Amino acid sequence: MHIENHLLTPIEFIVSPNCDKRPEPEDISLIVIHSISLPPNEFGANYIDQLFTNQLDPAAHPYFKEIAHLKVSAHLLINREGQGKQYVLFNQRAWHAGLSQYAGRERCNDFSIGIELEGNDDTCYTEQQYHCLARIIGLLLAEYPKLSTEAIVGHSDVAPGRKTDPGPCFDWLHLQHLLAGR
Q: Summarize the confidence of residues 112-119 as an average pLDDT.
A: 98
Q: Summarize the confidence of residues 118-142 as an average pLDDT.
A: 97
**For residue 182, pLDDT beyond 90:** no
Q: Which of 4, 106, 116, 150 is catalytic?
A: 116
Residue 24 among the catalytic residues: no
pLDDT at 177: 96
Please tell me what DSSP assigns to residue 104: T
pLDDT in tens, 19-68: 999 999 899 999 999 999 999 999 999 999 999 999 999 999 999 999 99
CATH number of 2-180: 3.40.80.10
For the sheet containing 112-118, what is the strand order? Answer: 12-13, 84-86, 76-78, 112-118, 30-36, 152-154
Across the chain, where does the E strand assignment appear?
2-4, 7-9, 12-13, 19-21, 30-36, 76-78, 84-86, 92-94, 101-102, 105-106, 112-118, 152-154
CB 11 within 8 A of CB 85: yes
